[in-house]
Amino acid sequence: MPVFEYRALNSAGKQIKGLLEADSPKTLRTKLRADGLFLTDVLGQAEGSRGAVAQGGNASLVARDINLRKLAGGRVSTEDVAILTRQLATLLGAGVTVVDSLNALVDQAEKERLKRALSDIKQRVNEGSSLGDAFGAHPKIFPSIYVNMVRAGEASGALETVLLRLADFTENQAKLQQKIIGTMLYPAIMMVVGGGILVLLMVFVVPKVTKIFETMKATLPIQTRILIATSNFLQGWWFVIFPAMVAGAIFFARWTKSPKGKPKWDRFTLKAPIFGSLVRLLAISRFARTLSTLLKSGVPMLAALDIVKAIMTNSVLAEAVENARESIREGESIANPLKRSGQFPPLVYHMVAIGERSGQLEDMLMSVADSYETQVNVRIGALTSLLEPILIVMMGAVIAFVAFSILMPILQVNTAIH
C-alpha cells in the first residue's frame, strides 16, 4: 500500500505535514477527515522499492511530483532495527497476527525510510510472501543475518523466540559499536583541534613574531631556525600540502579496499601494537556471538558460517572462517580448522571442541563472546585512560617547543645587552 506525504490543516487552522498509508489520495482525504484534518496538498507517494501505484490521473501526477529529498528519510541505525525487532516480538507474543503487527509498526515508525520499508514488507506479506523474504527485499536496512534468522524462525515455528534473540544480538552490537565510537571520538577531536591550532600558529602567529629576528646579526638557535623554516614552508606550499594530504587519504582508503591492498592492511591491523589485539578481540567476539545466535535460531552450520564470513570485516579472519567451512563440508569438526588457521586463540578452539563433544556448542560460543566482550570493554577503558594524557602531553610539548623557540633568541639578546 502506498505511503503518502501530505500537507493538511487542523481544527485550529494550523498547517501540518505528515506521512500516512492509504490506497489512494481519495482514501487519504477520508482518513485525515476522520482525524479532524483537512487535506490541502499531497506532496508525494512511495511504495517501498516497487514504486507507487497510480490510480487515475491525479495519482500519476502525484507520483511524478515525489519529493525525493524528503522521502529519502533518515538513516536507519542498528538501534532502530533492534527496537523494531523487540516490538515485533512483543506483538507476536501477545497473539497479534503478523500483518496487524506490521501495521502497528508502520504507524509507530518515525523515520520515513523505515516507515516506507515496513509498509512494503506488510504488503509483501499480504500478497503471500514469507516474512523473511519480505525483510530480504530491504538489504540496506535488514542484513543477511537478520533475514536468515527470521527465515529459520518461521521454518521452526519459533519466530517470537528468534526475534527476541535477534533483538538481544542487535542491541549488543549497537552498544559495543557506540562504546568504540565514543571512546575514539574524544582523541580524534583533540587531534583535529590541536592540529588546527598548530597550523594557525605556524601560518599566522609565528611569522609576525619572528620578524624581529631579521635584524639580529647573531646566529639563531637551531630550534628557532627549524620553527621559521617550518612556518615558511607551510606559508609557501599550503596550496600543495593540503590537497596532497587529501589525495593521499583518498588513495589510502581505496588501497585498503582493493583486492591487493585489503589483505595486507588487514594482516597489519591484526599485528599492530596495542590496537592489533583489540581488533582481533572484537572480530572473534563478533564471530562467536553471531555463530551462536544463528545456530540457536536453527540456521544450519554451513549456512551460518556463510553469514559469519560475510559480516567479518577482516579478510584474514574471513578466509579462516571459509577454510573452516570447507573442512566441515568434508566431515571435519569446526575446532580443528580454527586451530590450524593460527588466527584464533587457544581459548576459542578449546571451548568449541568441548561444545562439540558435549552438544552445547551454542552455549560455549556465547561464553566465548561474553568473555571477549568483557576483555574488549576493559581494554577500551584502559586505552582511553592512556590516550588522553598522551595526547595532552604531546600537544603541550608542541606548544612548549614553539614558545621556547621564540623566547630563546630574545633571552639571548637581552643577556648580550646586559
Residue scoring higher pLDDT (353 or 60): 353
Residue position matching grid coordinates 487515475: 56
| pLDDT, tens digit (0-9, with 9 covering 90-100), for 368-408 | 988 988 888 888 888 777 877 888 888 888 888 888 888 88
pTM: 0.66
The closest of 388, 382, 391 to 274, measured between CA atoms, is 382
Res 216: pLDDT: 67
- Residues 150, 80 contacting (CB under 8 angstroms): no
- 116: cell is 516506507
| pLDDT, tens digit (0-9, with 9 covering 90-100), for 267-325 | 999 988 878 888 898 889 888 988 888 888 888 888 888 888 888 888 899 999 998 89
pLDDT range class, residue 350, cuts 50, 70, 90: very high
Q: Using alpha carbons, list the distances in angstroms from residue 196 to 105, 192, 218, 354, 406.
A: 46, 6, 32, 54, 20
| pLDDT, tens digit (0-9, with 9 covering 90-100), for 248-266 | 999 999 999 898 999 999 9
Domains of the chain: 3-71 (no CATH), 78-173 (1.20.81.30), 176-418 (1.20.81.30)
- Residues 23, 55 contacting (CB under 8 angstroms): yes
Which run of H or E residues covers position 168?
A: helix 159-200
Backbone angles phi, psi at 65, to 5 degrees: -100, 25
Res 2: pLDDT: 67
Res 74: pLDDT: 63
Exposed/middle/buried for residue 208 (C-beta within 10 Å: 0-12, 13-18, 19+) = exposed
Measure the CA–CA gap between 17 and 216, rounded to whole angstroms. Answer: 71
Position 71 pLDDT exceeds 50: no
Measure the CA–CA gap between 418 and 416, rounded to whole angstroms. Answer: 6
Res 54: pLDDT: 38
Query: SS3 of 62, please?
Result: helix
- Residues 403, 410 contacting (CB under 8 angstroms): no
Res 264: pLDDT: 92
Which run of H or E residues covers position 280?
A: helix 275-296
Res 217: pLDDT: 64
Measured in residues, the chain has a length of: 418
| Order of strands, sheet of 15-21, starting from the edge strand that comes earlier in the sequence | 15-21, 3-9, 38-46
Query: SS3 of 55, please?
Result: coil
pLDDT range class, residue 244, cuts 50, 70, 90: very high
